[in-house]
Amino acid sequence: MRRVRSGSDPVATLSALENSGFGIWVRESGSLWSYPTIIFLHSLGLSFLVGMNVALNLRLLGVAPGLPLAPLDKLFPIMWFGFWMNAVSGVALLIADATTMMISPVFWVKMTCIAAAVVIMVLIKRQLFSTPRVEVTPLPLRAKFLAASSLLLWAGAITAGRLTAYLGPVAGLKGR
């Protein structure tokens, strides 16, 4: 005789999340304020998080060399705002499709890209903006390496994110 404890069964936990009141509301309520608004906010956060990273990285790679680096420190709060906006909206979207997303390899590729890109964002902040040597020219090769890696990882995150709607297990309607 096997006793099944739902708490130790990950699939049951994911299914419970997906079928919670909140999960059903996000996925099935048809309200403009549920899935449509949440996914719009997810795009908005993406634009600011990735967009400002791209601007900073282009500068580090040598585009717009006349642009002083020190004031670009102010981009970090905008990036973190975008990050938290997407962490919150992302968790809401994940709850709504928990059983599909958590077994989707391409979703985990996305998460890995984001984790690595955020680590690089923190490294850029620490290595280039936390010292008074911020205006040092030319920038060390290390800075260009970080910038290039960041661009690649964000492109990877966007690609994998878009492909969760097409590759592997897909929740709801393909391509939405």
Partner 1 sequence: MPLVESFSRWIHGTRLSWAVRGGYPWLWPACETLHFVGMALLIGIVGLLDLRMLGFVKGLPLKPLNRLLPWGIFGFAINLTTGFMFFAGDPFQYIHNAVFWFKMAFVVLAGINVGAFYLTGISRRVDSVQGGEDVPTSAKLVAATSLFLWIGVMYWGRMLPFLGDAF
Give contact residues for partner 1 (rule: CB under 8 A). Answer: 32, 35-36, 39-40, 43-44, 46-48, 50-55, 58-59, 63-68, 70-72, 74-75, 78, 154-155, 158-159, 161-163, 165-167, 173, 175-176
**Which of residues 102 and 163 has its CB atom nearest to partner 1 in the complex?**
163
Phi-psi region of 15 (alpha: psi -120 to 50; beta: other; left: phi over 0): alpha
**Which of residues 15 and 81 has its CB atom nearest to partner 1 in the complex?**
81
d(CA 34, CA 40): 10
Long-range contacts of residues 106-109, Cβ cutoff 8 Å, at least 24 apart? 106/160, 106/163, 106/164, 106/167, 106/168, 107/160, 107/164, 109/156, 109/160
**Which of residues 23 and 161 has its CB atom nearest to partner 1 in the complex?**
161
**Which of residues 17 and 165 has its CB atom nearest to partner 1 in the complex?**
165
d(CA 169, CA 11): 15
Q: Output the smallest distance, CB 149 to partner 1, in A.
A: 16
Q: Output the smallest distance, CB 115 to partner 1, in A.
A: 18
